[in-house]
Chain A
Amino acid sequence: MNWQALRTIFQHEMARFWRTPWESLASPVVSTVLYFVVFGAAIGGRIQSVEGISYGAFIVPGLIMLTVLQQSIANASFGIFVPKFAGTIYEILAAPVSFIEVVLGYVGAAALKSVIIAVVIYLTALFFVDLPVAHPVWALAFLILTAFSFSLFGFLLGIWAKDWQQVQFIPLMVVTPLVFLGGAFYSASMLPPFWEGVARLNPVLYLVSGFRWSFFGQADVPVAASLLAVAAFLGLGVGAVWFIFRTGWRLRA
């Protein structure tokens, strides 16, 4: 294990985050505030409560998950796609490192950025609603595991993508719909039975549900199923990255 290399990659990626604090932190905060204005104040004023929780509070876990998924994928995909695009990746490939250092460095940094953003959104939400966390340790565990899993997907996306369009296509066309349809802004039980069945096929539903449970103690699906979903995402991501570095797919000819 080349710890120095892992630390170097990690710090390098985090430096990029702090170098542009406005883009890194302010924009998620601004969009969160907008969601509160639209969903919390305008719409939430008419919905009152979902399963006994004020609508404004109810959407916060989903809102955080939405941002964590988007930010994880965006950060990790750009983190590896930019060197690939610019050609500077040669240095990583020629360095005495294995996929472990590279993945932990890039994915770890991307995941930490998402977690920081999630915490900032949570703190922002506190200005608008009363938001106790019923199971803080589980909340943090769901947050970290989700951030890491989707950073892995972002990393894979960055390796797979051959141009900028592809880097942006997946988050826009796949992830955002999955999050919106995954119960970020409503409970799956509010849907008609047929659509509730469809929603249960959406893997993101399990993440949102589990995360929401850690806040309010209520969930659309059993918590164990949510944990299993996160573990499955993580396992898939790790397996795919391992395969890529073993075969050199799209990295080494």
Chain B
Amino acid sequence: MPPIIEVSDLSKTYASGTAALSGVTLDIREGEILALLGPNGAGKTTFISILCGLVKPTGGAARVGGHDIVRDYRAARALIGLVPQEIAVEPFETVMNTLRFSRGLFGRKPDDAHLEKVLNSLTLWDKRDARLNELSGGMKRRVLIGKALSHGPRVLFLDEPTAGVDVNLRREMWAVVRDLRAEGVTIILTTHYLEEAEEMADRIGIIDKGRLLLLQDTAKLMHEFGRKRLIVELAAPLAALPAALAGHGLTLSADGTHVRYDYDTRADRSGIARLLAGFAEAGIGVRDLETEQSSLEEVFLRLVEEGA
């Protein structure tokens, strides 16, 4: 199956001279959830904005569903739904009308049955006749998703969908995204919440300073780049580590009951076997072992540092 979105060497330098995006190349598979992760100003929103037609690229090309986003923008944009980062709605419009407007803009014939389905999936059907200025922030955000879905897009861009959203609503948003994926919609989301990317995405792209540092399956990324920590619970507390174990980079806990060992899963050898042999030689009894995987946040920060 050809990728739904093909991006090659996409660049954007703003009139001010700021290079917001520098030569980003990637393919997005149909039906996947791709999370773009990066600090503020990394170029995530610029990337989305170019694909959606809000910003003009200064270099490279992109195709959506095989249609060039500049030359064949009508066909490309017809496949896309965009949920912007900022909540912007017409305050005096009703929920249903604002969805009708969005659908019409995308050239689709009125279809209230479809809009009913969309509103139901966002638990907004009861609010269909409410004015937008009567809704809470979370509801407005769902209305924006509803507008983006009103014309039945094959690709949905969510620019920081859960920024400033409370925990319950975030879970709710995640459920909506999963349902959409189940329907075959390709989803590209940007986020600051690494937990979110880890939990939701099939693949994660890491962007910093306009460059795509990495694009990988979430699980593989966690596996390959994850640092692990081994915690060894000792049978008896130690006052100090014996000199024989000095080469392993161990840390003894303050009360002397635990030893901490950090290792890199990317390395050929974890060094755990050698370490445990060292414990045995030094006559130190081990009661229990525990490993902790580093969070994506740590992975991310490390990559950004390495990329800098």
Contacts and interface: CB of A to CB of B under 8 A. Distances in A.
B175 to A, nearest CB: 25
B107 A5 contact: yes
B74 A253 contact: no
B82 A90 contact: yes
A253 B78 contact: no
Contact of B56 (A9, A96, A97, A252): A252
Contacts of A4: 104, 107-109
Interface in B99-117: 100-109
A234 B102 CA distance: 30
A91 B148 CA distance: 9
Given A88-B90, A96-B77, A96-B78, A7 B104 contact: yes
B15 interface: yes
Contacts of A253: 14-15, 49, 54-56
B138 interface: no
A94 B53 contact: yes
A31 interface: no
Contacts of A96: 73-78, 106-107
A63 B54 CA distance: 41
A5 B53 contact: no
A86 interface: yes
B84 A97 contact: no
A252 to B, nearest CB: 5
Interface string B101-145: 111111111000000000000000000000000000000000000
A252 B55 contact: yes
Contact of B74 (A2, A3, A86, A93): A2
Interface string B44-71: 0000010011111000000000000000
B89 interface: yes
A46 to B, nearest CB: 47
Given A91-B147, A93-B53, A8 B104 contact: yes
B86 interface: yes
Interface residues of B, number: 34
A88 B89 contact: yes
Contacts, number: 76
B213 to A, nearest CB: 24
A92 interface: yes
Contacts of B92: 19
Interface in B140-187: 147
- Which of B54, B77, B78 is most buried by chain A, counting CB atoms within 10 A of its CB? B54
B15 A8 contact: no
Interface in A78-116: 83, 86-88, 90-98
A191 to B, nearest CB: 46
B80 interface: yes
B88 interface: yes
Given A86-B88, A87-B86, A253-B14, A95 B55 contact: no
A218 B49 CA distance: 56
Given A86-B88, A252-B54, A94 B77 contact: yes
B240 to A, nearest CB: 61
B183 to A, nearest CB: 21
A12 interface: yes
Nearest to B82: A94
A8 B109 CA distance: 10
Contacts of A91: 82, 102, 105, 147
Interface string B90-101: 111000000011
Given A86-B88, A91-B147, A96-B73, A5 B106 contact: yes
A217 interface: no
Which 9 A-B residue pairings sit nearest by Cβ, starting from the closest? A8-B104, A87-B88, A96-B74, A95-B105, A96-B77, A2-B107, A94-B52, A4-B107, A96-B78
